[in-house]
Chain A
């Protein structure tokens, strides 16, 4: 089975890079533009193997998104990696409280990202 990953980021460039990094590693990438859009995508998709999300986004930010994902019964165990330029401890604590699995600081190295994904999602 191809690994399925939902990546949520409001930057088109970042989505393009994520798509490239993921598909390059044989992972099927689903993309969303913000938290709200991410939830919509999750409505359409079978539960992905992992979720990557940005924090600063319009409409619904990463915290709200993680919180909402964890609120869904079928998605409670899906690993969520936060991918952001932020690195303040306070923000990390918030992400963790919301239910994030891990935190990766941008800019990301595609190989490391994929490695982290494989580590949290098998």
Chain B
């Protein structure tokens, strides 16, 4: 175990992230018109808790800002302030700054005060417009705990020769006992300050039969304390009971001896019998009645109990432990595959108990793997909230009124995927606001609502996560994109591209230029970078746009980065895994299915269209292109734009789960290869990135976008 404070500090920042999420949620609810007192309270408490924790770690800048924020929120809570658009905007900005301060504090970075100060001032101004001066009248009924008592409790300091002697008269009132205070402990605390002489006055204690309330304060004490600590230290002992007792403290006249206390008692005297009043049995009679129980136990506030369910029990686990579990599950998957292979090799009949046991093992392995993946999964909500901030900032920077709509915030995605999606999403959201949406006036001129809308949706779709970023802006101006691409030499001037193909030009690396930004709604800005980042996650991104209506990007991602369902294929004696999700269809080629077109180009007719064959063996450099592709297997692979590509392999071996072993760390990014895996027989196989491979394809199946159409046209004589 490391330093416990460091651990708590780390967990504080984790808690802060949760509180920031709660804060943004609450503000969002308010913006949606739900500004009830509970919502406001929740928002207030979030900031309050951040402040409290930050104080504990001495994060002064964070405390100072959180305090201003809290004060402003308190105005809201007290009803002196109304959460209108302006106020909420400030609160949203305040949350963003608070988040910055939290993260900078966590990472030990300084926060740019030029960003913080104006917001802090705005919050302060907001509170100042409504606040009544704090009603601290100076009547303090109990003080913050004294911090100066840094004495060893077990060893009271020896009396000092020249220490002044204080005389203390202490008479508890009933309230003292009712608030759980105990004279004995106060007297002990005094003893810690110096040599103490105690005298208990029990002359006012009534008889048992007359004592209605034993806590009515029937006894009182005179104490002599010899200490150099000073009056303030003595008063601090009585801080908690200030106002609950009569207390006189003065320097004793004439040194140690009190007139009424000739025989000093030992300091231990008050221990067992110091507060006999507490021990005395209650009985009928005089004096004040005990404080009535104002709330029956257990039903203090049933309404509150019904309103909010108890928080669900959770355990916080170090991510490393989970990753270890994920790795181990990966090993089980490999192991199970090996076992299957051995059983197969041993020629064990299909209905044997070993086989059925292995079946169950396989099912369990899948279940375990899914459960482990669920541990790593997190709702995309935090990511969406970060995007909400990007929208706010970009909207402020561009002066465009923008509303962000989110959907599917609770969709769960692997934690690493969420983290690595932040950058590409930020980019796309910024683009959507900055370049996708028209200026407010232009929108109105086109009969659109003045306020632009950017929507962010997450959903599960056939075993993958789909995230969609859409705007209702002007859409892609395809003629300009085409023009630009031709001028930049990315495509030939006579290219005939489909709309989808034109849109996809935006992802080409050479396409993003500053010039293009302003001319084409900036759709090309760094989109190649976005695509690369998403592909690195095993995902794809596609684009759809309607002129005048808007543009949408769809990102599709695997649920996990650890395991995938793959098709194990054989090419030129090599075993290769292709992600099942990429494969649309498989078919065995007959002699009539393949036509050759030119010296090294073969095409396959599939229903009503013709596709060039991509020979995987040749493409990966395992062998030269074949003369004849009859009897080969074709895998139809879906591409970014949805159109299929035909990939030729020698045989399909199996379809199974494989554990992804990343290659990036050791080899960097290898074109066309997503990762590697270990097969059941211990063999290492590459996992293909078929879409990347197709897009990079060269050699016998080079497919310029136009060529395939032309091929199809040439081949139309063929019956289908």
- A residues in contact (CB < 8 Å) with B: 10-14, 16-17, 20, 33, 35-37, 39, 43, 56-60, 64-65, 67-68, 70-73, 76-81, 84-85, 87-90, 92-93, 96, 99-109, 111-113, 115-116, 118-122
Given A65-B300, A92-B142, A96-B141: A20 in contact with B8 (beta carbons within 8 A): yes
Question: Which residue of B has the minimal Cβ distance to A72?
Answer: B297
Residue tally, chain B, CB below 8 Å to A: 69
Chain B residues contacting A121 (CB-CB under 8 Å) are 182, 185
A56, B40: Cα distance in complex, Å: 13
Given A58-B42, A99-B179, A122-B185: A104 in contact with B144 (beta carbons within 8 A): yes
Verify if B12 is at the interface (C-beta below 8 Å from A).
Answer: yes
B140 lies within 8 A of A89 (CB): yes
Verify if B181 is at the interface (C-beta below 8 Å from A).
Answer: yes
Q: Taking the nearest CB of chain B, how far is it from the CB of A5, in angstroms?
A: 13
Q: Taking the nearest CB of chain A, how far is it from the CB of B225, in angstroms?
A: 15
A77, B182: Cα distance in complex, Å: 9
A92 lies within 8 A of B140 (CB): yes
A16 lies within 8 A of B135 (CB): no
Question: Which residue of B has the minimal Cβ distance to A111?
Answer: B150
Verify if B315 is at the interface (C-beta below 8 Å from A).
Answer: no
Within 433-484 of B, Cβ neighbours of A (below 8 Å) are at none
- 14 of the cross-chain contacts (CB-CB < 8 Å) are A13-B49, A58-B41, A64-B300, A68-B300, A76-B290, A77-B177, A80-B179, A81-B145, A92-B141, A101-B180, A103-B144, A106-B52, A107-B58, A122-B184
Chain A residues contacting B55 (CB-CB under 8 Å) are 85, 106-107
Q: Taking the nearest CB of chain A, how far is it from the CB of B65, in angstroms?
A: 14
A81, B142: Cα distance in complex, Å: 11
Of A57, A102, A109, A111, the most chain B CB neighbours within 10 A belong to A102
Given A33-B311, A71-B295: A120 in contact with B56 (beta carbons within 8 A): no
Chain B residues contacting A72 (CB-CB under 8 Å) are 293, 297
Chain B residues contacting A11 (CB-CB under 8 Å) are 15, 49, 52-53
B146 lies within 8 A of A112 (CB): yes
- B residues in contact (CB < 8 Å) with A: 4-5, 7-8, 11-12, 15, 41-42, 44-45, 48-49, 51-53, 55-58, 134-137, 139-147, 149-150, 153, 175, 177-182, 184-186, 188-189, 237, 239-240, 243, 278, 290-291, 293-298, 300-301, 304-305, 307-308, 310-311
A10 lies within 8 A of B49 (CB): yes
Contact with A108, one of B56, B142, B291, B298 (Cβ below 8 angstroms): B56
A31, B180: Cα distance in complex, Å: 20
Instruction: Give me 14 other A-B pairs in contact (C-beta within 8 A), A56-B45, A118-B153 excluded.
Output: A59-B305, A64-B304, A68-B300, A85-B51, A88-B134, A89-B136, A89-B137, A89-B141, A90-B135, A92-B142, A101-B180, A103-B144, A107-B56, A119-B186
Given A56-B48, A105-B144, A112-B145: A17 in contact with B178 (beta carbons within 8 A): no
A13 lies within 8 A of B237 (CB): no
Given A77-B177, A92-B140, A116-B145: A35 in contact with B300 (beta carbons within 8 A): yes
A118, B290: Cα distance in complex, Å: 26
Given A12-B11, A35-B300, A85-B55: A68 in contact with B295 (beta carbons within 8 A): yes
Chain B residues contacting A85 (CB-CB under 8 Å) are 48, 51-52, 55
Contact with A109, one of B8, B137, B147 (Cβ below 8 angstroms): B147
B179 lies within 8 A of A100 (CB): yes
Of A13, A80, A101, A120, the most chain B CB neighbours within 10 A belong to A13
A36, B301: Cα distance in complex, Å: 8
Chain A residues contacting B182 (CB-CB under 8 Å) are 77, 79, 120-122
A14 lies within 8 A of B179 (CB): no
A37 lies within 8 A of B53 (CB): no
Chain A residues contacting B300 (CB-CB under 8 Å) are 35-36, 39, 60, 64-65, 67-68, 71
A39 lies within 8 A of B311 (CB): no
Contact with A14, one of B52, B141, B308 (Cβ below 8 angstroms): B52
Chain A residues contacting B143 (CB-CB under 8 Å) are 103
Q: Which 4 A-B pairs have the closest CB atoms?
A: A68-B300, A102-B240, A79-B180, A13-B12
B146 lies within 8 A of A12 (CB): no
Contact with A67, one of B4, B48, B294 (Cβ below 8 angstroms): B294
A80, B178: Cα distance in complex, Å: 11
A119 lies within 8 A of B184 (CB): no
Q: Taking the nearest CB of chain B, how far is it from the CB of A47, in angstroms?
A: 11
Q: Taking the nearest CB of chain B, how far is it from the CB of A22, in angstroms?
A: 12
A107, B142: Cα distance in complex, Å: 17
Contact with A89, one of B7, B135, B239, B307 (Cβ below 8 angstroms): B135
A103 lies within 8 A of B145 (CB): yes
Given A13-B8, A70-B294, A71-B293: A112 in contact with B149 (beta carbons within 8 A): yes
Contact with B56, one of A43, A76, A93, A106 (Cβ below 8 angstroms): A106
A102 lies within 8 A of B145 (CB): yes
Q: Taking the nearest CB of chain B, how far is it from the CB of A30, in angstroms?
A: 16
A13 lies within 8 A of B56 (CB): yes
B185 lies within 8 A of A14 (CB): no
Chain A residues contacting B237 (CB-CB under 8 Å) are 119
Contact with A101, one of B137, B181, B291, B293 (Cβ below 8 angstroms): B181
A92, B53: Cα distance in complex, Å: 21
Chain B residues contacting A90 (CB-CB under 8 Å) are 135
Q: Taking the nearest CB of chain B, how far is it from the CB of A29, in angstroms?
A: 13
